[in-house]
Amino acid sequence: MRRVDALDGLRAIALLMVIAYHLDKGVFPAGHWGVMVFFVLSGYLITRLLTREIDDTGGVDLRTFYAKRAVRLYPALLIMCVALVALGLDWRRTLPALGQYANYARIAGADLGVLTHTWFLAVMAHFYLLWPIVMARIPKRRRIAVVGTLFALAVVWRVVAIAVMSPGWVYNATDTNAAALLAGCLLAVVRPRSWRFAGLAIPALAVGMVLPVFGEQGAAFFWGGFAAIALGVLAVQYAVQGAGWMGAPVMGWIGEISYGLYLWHYVFLTVGVGAIPTLIISTALATASYYLIEKPAPRWVGLARSRRDERSARRELAGSKR
């Protein structure tokens, strides 16, 4: 799949929204919309990868897919958990994060403390587990219809859940966040050519995240999630259409270290480190995590492409553009 630098930029924007929310919920009451944007983006990227593999090979290599996702999620997370245990955290507090059930542990009332934010990783892990199995069984000619139906059902369920389920369930559960993930999946199979108004997404997200109405108090906190999903879809499409500024090197760099930055910033904020020191320290740790752990990890387990494979892939891509 052709790399789109602006999608790294969008990942950076989503992360910065979340960090802003954690820094000051009073100033950025809807910064949590960044999570929805990231769900949409993840659904889009994973579905594009899966459709490419299915179309090229006729199926999905589940073992390789799961191995790649595990290598993406676990090394940095494990290092962080080990560091926290070494600093005095009860090792049992790390089990929901490492077991990828932090979201449902949080719903059940568990106090995850410095690992509260790992609920998001649990949702992603559940998506990674289930979606390739689903995609492998959808006939190519029926992708839009099937994924569209699943998305519609997920939206309906989120509406019902807002009315009948607890706020904790609506916010944390995998099933209620499936609407955002499937919105990205649907965009990936529809792949519209161009939306002139897609560029409005980023300004709209910037405005929306500072509106008090979408803060934690009141129903708008949850209903606003639908606005975040819609803007996330527009933002992904805007990036794919070629939002040049989102592909700037600094945006790409933040996107690359975004996972480590997400993991570490919340830890320091939770223990009372100030905003500026948190940003400095967590950025340094995220950079080290990316270059020393996350980037080389696929090579450690034999999942990275060889240089010959990379050259072959580039030649194939170049030939497809002719």
pLDDT tens digits, one per residue of 60-105: 999 999 999 999 999 999 999 999 999 999 999 999 999 999 999 9
Pick the closest to residue 131 from 147, 155, 154 (CA basis).
147
pLDDT tens digits, one per residue of 157-202: 999 999 999 999 999 999 999 999 999 999 999 987 788 888 899 9
* pLDDT reported for residue 62: 96
The DSSP code for 194 is -
Question: What are the angstrom distances between the C-alpha of 87 and each of 81, 82, 157, 272, 322?
Answer: 10, 9, 42, 15, 56
Range list of H helices, 165-216: 167-172, 174-190, 201-208
For the chain, the average pLDDT equals 91
* pLDDT reported for residue 169: 96
Q: Could you tell me the pTM of the whole model?
A: 0.91
End-to-end CA distance of the chain: 16
In the chain, where are the structural domains located? 5-256
Cβ neighbours of 64 (radius 10 Å): 11
128 touches 147 (CB < 8 A): no
pLDDT tens digits, one per residue of 155-164: 999 999 999 9
pLDDT tens digits, one per residue of 47-59: 999 999 999 999 9
pLDDT > 70: percent of the chain: 93
Alpha carbons within 13 A on the beta-carbon side of 183: 27
The answer, yes or no, to whether residue 146 has pLDDT greater than 90, is: yes
Mean pLDDT to the nearest integer, 15-31: 95
pLDDT band with cut points at 50, 70 and 90 for residue 147? very high
Measured CA to CA, the distance from residue 9 to residue 241 in angstroms comes to 13
* pLDDT reported for residue 305: 55
